[in-house]
A = this chain, B = another copy of it.
């Protein structure tokens, strides 16, 4: 998030910024921002602030966006389709090297300039392209099997969009994004507002 904010500031022509400004742009408290940055090193100048370009480079280096990360996406339904086309991945240093789907009827399609290939090709794609990150956009029932296969093929980080809990070996990273749970959280607060307008729930 700080990197995003810094890129925005750089595009606006800002060369120097204080923790207060950067924190406001990123939407956090300035003390928290300074503490977070201090874990990376001491890249600010007291009395002056942070050099936007320098800090931007340091954060980018630290979090690894200087690399180009190859990614495979499994499950080319609606969501997989959108992820394959999502420009935010490319601009953040991620390169989608393959789209896989278990359904043979989808293997004719070309999505985002890539052939949709058979899930059976996973192992060769992973080893040929040195892929370490996989994205699961399948239905929930298939997610665990896909994850197992990914791990066996050598993938060590998984981004899971299926609404299921994945069991993976030690050392494999998993992050889960559940689109409808986010909406449910909003709906919950909406309901609270409607049930007890302006007052705390006491039942």
Contact = CB atoms under 8 A, between A and B. Distances in A.
B82 A78 contact: yes
A4 interface: yes
Task: Label chain A's interface by main secondary structure.
Answer: helix
A159 B183 contact: yes
A183 B82 contact: no
How many protomers of this protein does the assembly include?
Answer: 2
Interface string A170-181: 010101010111
A6 interface: no
Interface residues of A, number: 53
A189 interface: yes
Interface in A84-102: 85-89, 91-94
6 contacts: A27-B165, A63-B184, A63-B187, A88-B180, A94-B183, A157-B186
Nearest to A174: B186
A127 to B, nearest CB: 16
